[in-house]
Amino acid sequence: MKPLKVAREQQIAVFGESGSGKTVLLSSFYGTAQEPVVADEGLYDIVANDAAQGLRLHQNYLGMKNTGTTPLQTRLSGNRYVFSIKRRGGPVGKSKKPAAEELRLIWHDYPGEWFEEDPATEKEQRLRVETFRSLLGSDVAVLLVDGQRLLDHTGEEERYLKALVTNYRAHLSRLQEELMPDGKRLVRFPRIWLFGLSKADLLPAMDATAFRDLLVEKVGQEIAHLQEELAGFIEEPEAFSLGEDFVLLSSARFEPGKIDVGKQVGVRLILPMAAVLPFSRHVRWAKALRNGSKVANDLMRSAGPLLALIVAKLKLPGPLKLVTVALPFIFDTVFEHSREKIQDVHDAAVAKHDFLTAVLTGFELELRQAVEDRVLQKSVK
């Protein structure tokens, strides 16, 4: 049997210090998707390709939901989780062919202890480098800021934030030499780095704009230094953003003896951010870079299939969609469409059982709503 065709694969890397909530976030993301009420409402199922991983994540989630038990922290083990986003109900319409696996999310979980502890052995150092190398295919990376730690440092937030950003920078600097032994910069590298406020439920008065403003005020210079450090990894560093996107993330509401997993913020944005957020940035950057550069070609290989899909479904004038090479130059026209137009395309795709279009336009609508709700602050570039 031939493997199922994947029309769109996206990778996301999540970084955070020990205890910042990475395991809880991942468990909530997967466990919530298994709830019957959530599954019945959606167009797709989220399936863990590794059954054992999926069982463990679901168990973590049920422990939080039913007994108020938080998952055990994972230590010193970089993990890669692969999720298939499969259309619900199998084949649709008149087709008798098996439904293709049309979306896939690869989630890289980078151990928090590695930002806080030096490697004990050469073997552990090699593991760190290999783990980081494995996530270089990600387009999106999330740097977590721990809401509990912010709360603990009320009035002196810069003490925590400066240490956090400095730790991120120092660790990545140590990896750079081993990832680039010949000094040759990388073409494939996460080029969109968001800051995510984990445990955002502990700071209910803080929206995404206030989160951004706090970081800029307290550690703007440190973020600029981190940006310089990461830009040093890559060819064409102008095709890179850090500190331009901010998201609130709360896996549940934690109360004494109880965890309310029905109270979440931003968890449902993981898929839309991974699948759609890179698209707009990649096309803009590809347009701005010199024609034929390795980076421009790589960016368009990533964005091209989705761009072609959206162009077709939005029914742009014929001349605008005749030549594939022209696709980067019509991007602005595509996304000048209003929410109402995108909603119309989404509704029509649902009615026609056009799975990929329905899901991706749904993701775009979710991102727009998150911006309105001030859960997400997107780059204006």
More confident residue, 51 or 277: 51
- Identify the weakest region by mean pLDDT among 196-205, 254-263, 292-301: 292-301
Give the number of other CB atoms < 10 A from CB of residue 285: 23
pLDDT at residue 322, rounded to an integer: 36
Sorted by sequence, the CB contacts under 8 Å of residue 81 that are 6+ apart come out as 26, 30, 48, 50, 53, 57, 106, 107, 108, 109
Give CA–CA dist 302/305, Å, rounded. Answer: 7
pLDDT at residue 302, rounded to an integer: 61
Confidence band of 20 (pLDDT split at 50, 70, 90)? very high
Cβ burial 99-123 (10 Å sphere, 16+ → b, else e): eebbbbbbbbbbbbebbeeeeeeee
More confident residue, 335 or 48: 48
Q: Which residue type, as a one-letter code, is found at position 193?
A: W
Give CA–CA dist 279/362, Å, rounded. Answer: 15
Q: What is the biggest distance separating any 2 CA atoms in the chain, rounded to whole angstroms?
A: 63
pLDDT at residue 301, rounded to an integer: 63
Does residue 226 form part of some domain?
yes
Give CA–CA dist 103/82, Å, rounded. Answer: 11
pLDDT at residue 22, rounded to an integer: 92
pLDDT at residue 180, rounded to an integer: 86
Highest mean pLDDT: which range of 31-40, 162-171, 333-342: 162-171
- Identify the weakest region by mean pLDDT among 5-9, 46-50, 119-123, 258-262: 5-9
pLDDT at residue 245, rounded to an integer: 96
Give CA–CA dist 188/190, Å, rounded. Answer: 7
The answer on pLDDT for 74 being more than 80 is: no
Helix, strand, or coil (residue 103): strand
The predicted model gives 155-180 an average pLDDT of: 93
How far is Cα of residue 246 from the mean position of the Cα atoms in its chain? 11
Give CA–CA dist 143/122, Å, rounded. Answer: 26
Residue span of the structural domain in which 184 resides: 8-267
Confidence band of 296 (pLDDT split at 50, 70, 90)? low
More confident residue, 342 or 321: 342
Give CA–CA dist 250/332, Å, rounded. Answer: 33
pLDDT at residue 308, rounded to an integer: 54
pLDDT at residue 63, rounded to an integer: 94
Does residue 232 form part of some domain?
yes
Does residue 128 form part of some domain?
yes
More confident residue, 25 or 360: 25
Give CA–CA dist 48/59, Å, rounded. Answer: 13
Question: How confident is the model over 85-112, as pLDDT tens digits?
Answer: 988 865 444 444 444 456 889 999 998 8
Q: Give the whole-number percent of the chain exceeding pLDDT 70.
A: 80
More confident residue, 115 or 165: 165
Check: CB of residue 244 under 8 Å from CB of residue 303: no
Give the number of other CB atoms < 10 A from CB of residue 262: 11
The CATH number of whichever domain residue 231 belongs to comes to: 3.40.50.300
Across the chain, mean pLDDT equals: 83
pTM attached to this predicted model: 0.86
Between the alpha carbon of residue 318 and those of residues 314, 315, 354, the distances in Å are 11, 8, 21
- Identify the weakest region by mean pLDDT among 12-16, 85-89, 206-210, 225-229: 85-89
Check: CB of residue 264 under 8 Å from CB of residue 257: no
Q: What is the DSSP string of 265-298?
A: BSGGGHHHHHHTHHHHHHHHHHHHSPTT-HHHHH
Does residue 324 form part of some domain?
no
Cβ burial 346-371 (10 Å sphere, 16+ → b, else e): beebbeeebbbbbbbbbbbbbbbebe
pLDDT at residue 309, rounded to an integer: 55
How many domains does the chain fold into? 1
Does residue 333 form part of some domain?
no
The predicted model gives 44-61 an average pLDDT of: 94
Confidence band of 235 (pLDDT split at 50, 70, 90)? confident
The predicted model gives 173-179 an average pLDDT of: 87
Q: What is the DSSP string of 199-210?
A: TGGG-TT--HHH
Q: Give the whole-number percent of the chain exceeding pLDDT 90.
A: 45
Check: CB of residue 303 under 8 Å from CB of residue 10: no
Does residue 369 form part of some domain?
no
Does residue 2 form part of some domain?
no
Does residue 13 form part of some domain?
yes
- Identify the weakest region by mean pLDDT among 102-106, 150-154, 311-315: 311-315
